[in-house]
């Protein structure tokens, strides 16, 4: 397989003939290559977007909605084929790939309609002769940076609202997982998207990402990335004071109170810890369990973790696949070694399995560490791999001090049967999203994002659309009747 760069309504080879070999994580074997964009390609994409910008705004929200709906329908028709591509390049089981694509389709349809409902207001004025008219307008050309862990999903989170709002979009998809996104781009092109309105520029962050962040022709950048990458984007974007939407690293605590349903909590923690092999920004890193139920919970979660079966994501019935590459395994092993060296106790996992026919794949057993010291790596740094660390707490105050004690503030999970106390604890947790007796904080109708170093701005919900719109005030003096 091969994919190139898309801008100006056409596919182009890279300006500097740079390519990246894409590997199937389950086998370790190459499956194709992608072109890598550089600064010159970014310039060309911005020029094409400028040429298309006025027309894309002028056709109005209804016309834009028809194109977005047509694109989403095409993605839905090809969802099985795109899901297979996604599994081949990223590793997640094909059922999870299909869910990701289906949700991306919902996102595009949702924002196609939401943009049709954006209205204005007439605001009060200190003068009876003046009226304040407030309307909303596209911010301009926007850039998006998409990660490899949920590439199609997060691509749609950015492209859907940006295009619906009237903003041409230049996206840097992950060079590690470019093929499924390329098929989504073809769906937009076939749906009648005007040339220049959408660009797709796979590239390594240090050049393509830096060029997008610093480009004076780009008015806004939306990135899902690590904290370090987000900080660098913000520094480069300061040159023309770009609007920023940054969803950065997470380190979610999973909190179990003594009155919780232990079996249900363990099942929820398992899925949120090891779905997509822990390669999720809202994955559970640290599990805080009240001492009264600590042993029951640890035994239940260890048994469930030990029962996980790994395999190639294209095989029937496989629910857990490989990690993306060797660097994820190295980081996971380093976090485990640090926790054990400091006094943590390995309950299960902690090694690379040997799978027949997949000996060169990037597989690592889901790993659970108990009694993890507070200064150990899995308790302080985002693992972004198949490891979860656990420890007991005695008081709510102690638990909150641990949960709020890091620079991360994306998501948290709380399991309790006492909803009054649960609400109070949820309010006290310093993060953008809290799941109370649910292990997922993403919902199409609600804002997704974090606080502290986990980012700024929100995606999804109406907030995800308004991020791409600027309010504009027109103060108008009215003429008195008979004047």
Active site (catalytic) residues: 247, 281
Q: Which residues are CB-contacts of 47 (< 8 A; sequence separation ≥ 6)?
A: none
Gap between the Cα atoms of 332 and 322, Å rounded: 13
Provide the token pair at 442: 């993403």
Which residue, 384, 436, 481, 458, is CA-closest to 161?
A: 458
Gap between the Cα atoms of 8 and 51, Å rounded: 9
Could you tell me where the DSSP H helices lie in 59-93? Answer: 60-77, 79-90
Gap between the Cα atoms of 419 and 414, Å rounded: 10
Q: What is the CA angle 27-28-30, rounded to 5? A: 105
Gap between the Cα atoms of 459 and 332, Å rounded: 29
Gap between the Cα atoms of 395 and 411, Å rounded: 21
C-beta neighbour count of 483 within 10 angstroms: 5
Q: Given the DSSP bridges, would you call strands 243-247 and 220-224 parallel, antiparallel or unpaired?
A: parallel
Which residue, 84, 85, 74, is CA-closest to 186?
A: 74
- The sheet with strand 367-370 has its strands ordered as 345-348, 367-370, 387-393, 284-290, 252-256, 411-415, 433-436
Which residue, 9, 11, 109, is CA-closest to 55?
A: 9
Which of 119-157 are b and which e, b meaning 16 or more Cβ less than 10 Å from the residue's Cβ?
eeeeeeeeeeeeeeeeebebbbbbbbbbbbbbbbbbbbb
Q: Which residues are CB-contacts of 454 (< 8 A; sequence separation ≥ 6)?
A: 227, 247, 248, 249, 250, 408, 409, 410, 431, 432
Element (H, E) at 54: helix 39-58
For the chain, the residue count is 483
Provide the token pair at 268: 């929820």
């Amino acid at each position: 397989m091969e994919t190139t760069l898309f801008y100006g309504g056409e596919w182009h080879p890279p300006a500097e003939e740079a390519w990246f070999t894409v590997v199937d994580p389950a086998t370790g074997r190459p499956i194709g290559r992608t072109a890598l964009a550089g600064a010159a390609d970014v310039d060309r994409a911005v020029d094409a977007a400028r040429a298309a910008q006025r027309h894309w705004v002028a056709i109005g929200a209804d016309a834009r909605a028809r194109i977005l709906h047509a694109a989403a329908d095409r993605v839905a028709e090809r969802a099985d084929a795109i899901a297979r591509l996604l599994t081949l390049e990223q590793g997640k089981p094909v059922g999870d790939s299909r869910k990701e694509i289906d949700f991306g389709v919902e996102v595009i349809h949702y924002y196609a309609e939401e943009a049709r409902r954006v209205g204005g207001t007439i605001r009060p004025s200190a003068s009876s002769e003046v009226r304040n008219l407030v309307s909303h307008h596209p911010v301009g050309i926007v850039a998006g940076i998409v990660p490899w862990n949920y590439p199609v999903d997060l691509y749609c989170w950015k492209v859907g609202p940006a295009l619906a709002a009237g903003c041409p979009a230049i996206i840097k998809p992950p060079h590690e997982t470019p093929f499924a996104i390329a098929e989504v781009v073809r769906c937009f092109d076939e749906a009648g998207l005007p040339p220049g309105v959408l660009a797709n520029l796979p590239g390594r962050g240090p050049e393509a990402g830096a060029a997008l962040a610093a480009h004076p022709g780009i008015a806004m950048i939306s990135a899902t990335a690590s904290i370090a990458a987000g900080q660098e984007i913000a520094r480069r974007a300061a040159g023309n004071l770009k609007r920023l939407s940054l969803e950065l690293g997470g380190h979610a605590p999973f909190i179990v109170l003594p009155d919780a349903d232990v079996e249900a909590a363990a099942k929820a923690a398992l899925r949120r810890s090891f779905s997509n092999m822990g390669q999720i920004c809202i994955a559970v890193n640290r599990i805080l369990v009240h001492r009264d139920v600590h042993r029951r919970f640890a035994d239940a979660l260890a048994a469930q973790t030990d029962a996980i079966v790994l395999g190639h994501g294209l095989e029937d019935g496989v629910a857990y696949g490989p990690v993306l590459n060797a660097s994820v395994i190295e980081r996971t092993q380093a976090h485990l070694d640090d926790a054990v060296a400091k006094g943590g106790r390995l309950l299960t996992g902690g090694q690379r399995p040997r799978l027949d026919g997949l000996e060169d794949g990037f597989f690592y057993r889901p790993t659970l560490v108990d009694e993890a010291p507070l200064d150990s790596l899995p308790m302080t740094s985002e693992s972004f791999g198949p490891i979860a660390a656990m420890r007991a707490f005695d008081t709510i105050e102690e638990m909150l001090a641990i949960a709020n004690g890091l620079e991360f503030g994306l998501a948290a999970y709380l399991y309790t049967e006492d909803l009054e106390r649960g609400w109070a604890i949820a309010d006290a947790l310093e993060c953008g999203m809290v799941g109370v007796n649910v292990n997922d904080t993403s919902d199409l109708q609600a804002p997704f994002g974090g606080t502290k170093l986990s980012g700024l701005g929100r995606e999804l919900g109406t907030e995800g659309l308004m991020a791409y719109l600027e309010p504009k005030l027109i103060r108008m003096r009215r003429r008195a009747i008979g004047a």
